Structure formats: structure tokens, C-alpha cells
Structure 1
Amino acid sequence: MARNARSAAQGCIFCAIAVRQAEASVVHEDETIVVFMDLNPVTPGHLLVVPRKHAVGLEDLDRVTSAHVWSVGHDMAQALRRSRMGCEGINVLLCDGEAAFQTVFHFHLHVIPRYAGDGWTVKAKSLKRERSLLDSDAQAIKDAIASTD
């Protein structure tokens, strides 16, 4: 585990929820993940899809678990749409790292039902980027991909 994930697991609330040592309103679970209601929801029905095995972020998550988390997130979005909660949209959000607004350092995927006028916004100031800079960014990412093969 990278970034001291093992030591971070001690005292981790999501690890405690995963082994039923802490209270949570569980929606779904299997041997790999647990899905529960966010204690501080953005909107009613806000879910967290959490791997049972401690991982701080994407770098610490194996591909099989990652794929399963996203697949279950998809299932939960469908369930929210079909539920009597009456949501009109879904946001799927991953906060990986403090700069990305991660506050609990155990990997988790937010599945957030949206309702007209619910008051939650995601507004970013985006500026057009020059093609040469986009090409340079693309090359940096390609180089990183090549280094992981």
C-alpha cells in the first residue's frame, strides 16, 4: 500500500463501517465493497461506495477493486433513479487527494442524486487553453502512461 495506507487504516471510520464496528445506513454490500448513506449528504440519497480494503486514493486501489467500485456506483445510480426518492439527475464524484477536496482518506465514490433547485452547484471557472499547451499536457500524460506499462 502506498502513502502509508496501512497506518492510515487505524482509526479510519470507513474501515470501521466496513467491518460493522461503526454505525452506518448500509444500502448494499458484498465481499469487496460496502455502500452506505453519506452522514453529511449534499442531497437526500447521497451514497458512498467504499472498498472494504483500506486504500487512500486511486494509486492505492487495485484495478479489480476499482472496476467493481465503478460498476457498483453505476448500479447505485440506476437504483436512485428508480427509487421513490424522485431524483432528476445523478452526479458521480471522486475526490482523490486533499487538493481535490478529499476529506476522508479512504477511497470512496460519491453517488449523488440531484433534484431541480437542490442548491448544490459545481461551478468552475474554465478558460480556453492554447493548443500548444494542450498538446504539451497530452504528451506529459502519454509519457506517464508509457512509464506504467
Structure 2
Amino acid sequence: MTDCIFCKIINREIPSYPVYEDDEVYAFLDITQTTKGHTLVIPKKHVADLFEYDDVLASSLFSRIPKIARGLEQAFPEMKGLNLINNNKELAYQTVFHSHIHLIPRYSTEDDFSITFKNNAENYTTEKMAEVANSIKEAIENGK
């Protein structure tokens, strides 16, 4: 894709700070550096989001993540945790429409990153949970 910033990074049209590369995957420092070492892992093949992955692409990309995460842990022994983030579609805060995984090292509860999950358990009875689970299960079984 000619106007994709990540495709331009892969093609060396825009500079980046690479940390890992092979035939299918490219990983580089996120320019925002939310925390030190904030890394993006992207497929070299242009796909907009997770919904466009096939099994081969998913396997090639996700199988590299532990290796890159261990590299972050070894490079930064003061790292106390790691967030793995993947935003898909605009409502989920995706802003670059070339699929990418954020690896965000965590150093303390006071670094510049947080995630909050609201607890809606009171809105879901056991029957409603079973209904939701069955809907997803059926969609998976009947899907691609």
C-alpha cells in the first residue's frame, strides 16, 4: 500500500529504529515511547487489522512476540512487566491501519501507561454468560 506509513517504514522510505526483522515480521521502536522500549511488531504483508489475518500470517507474527519480549526483558532488567496491546478498528483506538502489536514495557505503577477494565459482572447472569459463550462458539464453528 503506497500511502501506509508502516509499509514505508518496512520499505526504508521512512527511518525507524528496528529491533527485529525477518522475512515476514518487522519490529521497531514506537516513536511515542510511552515507556522506554515501547516496540511495535508488524507483519511485512499489509493487512489492516487482526480480522484480515489468515492462520499462516497469525502464526508467523505471534510466534515472534515471545522472542522480542524476552529481548526487552534482557535489555531492561528493571522492567517489571509488559503489556501486549492490539487495537483493531477505529472504535478500539486503532490509528494506523496496518496491523500492529504494541509491546509496552512496564517499570512501575507510575509510568505513563494504564488500562482500566470496568467490571460488568452484575449485568451477566449465568444464563446470559452461557448465551454469549454459545454465540461466540457457534460463530467460530461456522466461520472460516
Same fold by TM (over 0.5)?
yes
Contact 2:49–2:98 (Cα < 8 Å) also in 1: yes
1:97 aligns with 2:89: yes
1:66 aligns with 2:58: yes
Shift of 1:85: 5.8
1:121 aligns with 2:108: no
Alignment RMSD: 1.3
Q: 1:53 aligns with which of 32, 45, 51?
A: 45
> Across the two proteins, how many residue pairs are aligned to each other?
141
1:3 counterpart residue number: none
TM-score computed with the length of structure 1 as normaliser: 0.89
Question: Where in structure 2 are the equivalents of 1:18-97 lying within 5 Å?
Answer: 18-84=10-76, 86-97=78-89
1:141 counterpart residue number: 136
List 4+ stretches of structure 1 deviating above 2 A. Answer: none
Q: Distance in 2 between matches of 1:55 and 1:119?
A: 29
Q: Distance in 2 between matches of 1:84 and 1:138?
A: 39
Shift of 1:87: 1.0
Gaps of 5+ in 2: none
Match of 2:8, SS?
Answer: helix
1:130 aligns with 2:125: yes
Q: Distance in 1 between matches of 2:97 and 2:84?
A: 18
TM-score computed with the length of structure 2 as normaliser: 0.91
Q: Distance in 2 between matches of 1:39 and 1:142?
A: 38
Q: Distance in 2 between matches of 1:136 and 1:101?
A: 28
Q: Distance in 2 between matches of 1:24 and 1:85?
A: 24
Gaps of 5+ in 1: 1-8
2:9 counterpart residue number: 17
